[in-house]
Amino acid sequence: MPRLAKRFGDSRSAVLCHSRPCPVDAAIEDQSGPRHQIFALSLKDGSTLEGWPIDVANSLRAKGLVFNPRDQNQRAALTLLDDVLYVPFGGHFGDCGDYHGWVIAVPLHDPGKIISWQTRARGGGIWAPDRKHVRRTGLE
């Protein structure tokens, strides 16, 4: 696992980690460049749980989608609903690069099956610092 050698973003988490895995989006840089990896950590000992981390760009590339981690930043807090983790992304800073807003959904018990949504327009995103609004019927 790469070390968190160079931080180029920040992680905001509104998920309370009392009795389940504790999710974190980490902005890292390794030999291949900037990456966003989503971790699920054990509350018992802080170790990374099996099947994690998820590399966002690689997971989306496998689906034929392009996510440029150099230009993307986790903008709002992580949200957990029905054992699915939602991670929102927007531009890293200002109007940098060719970014789109993204929401990545990762099932906690099957992290390899991510679901994604992106804005159609360049420069879109979810900019609120708080978590997405959650209702019993889903996200808003």
Whether 137 is in a domain gets the answer no
Tally of structural domains, the chain: 1
Q: Is residue 104 part of a domain?
A: yes
How far is residue 88's CA from residue 130's CA, in Å, rounded to a whole number? 11
Q: 13 in a domain, yes or no?
A: no
Domain holding 81, by residue range, is 22-126
- Write the pLDDT tens digit of every residue in 24-47: 888 888 898 889 999 988 888 888
Question: DSSP code of 130?
Answer: S
Whether 121 is in a domain gets the answer: yes
Entry pTM: 0.78
Using CA atoms, how far apart are residues 131 and 13, in angstroms rounded to an integer?
Answer: 8
Percent of the chain with pLDDT over 70: 71
Residues 6+ apart with CB under 8 A from 80: 15, 20, 23, 86, 108
pLDDT for the residue numbered 8: 36
Residue 131 domain flag: no
Contact status, residue 27 vs residue 74, Cβ threshold 8 Å: yes
Is residue 134 in a domain? no
- The answer to whether 56 and 37 are in contact (CB under 8 A) is yes
**Domain presence at residue 96:** yes
pLDDT in tens, 111-134: 999 999 988 877 777 666 555 555
Q: Give the tokens for residue 15.
A: 């998920």
Exposure string for 86-105, b = 16+ CB within 10 A, e = fewer: bbbbbbbeeeeeebbbbbbb
- What is residue 99's predicted lDDT score, i.e. its pLDDT? 76
Would residue 133 count as lying in a domain?
no
Q: pLDDT tens digits, residue range 47-65?
A: 898 899 999 999 999 999 9
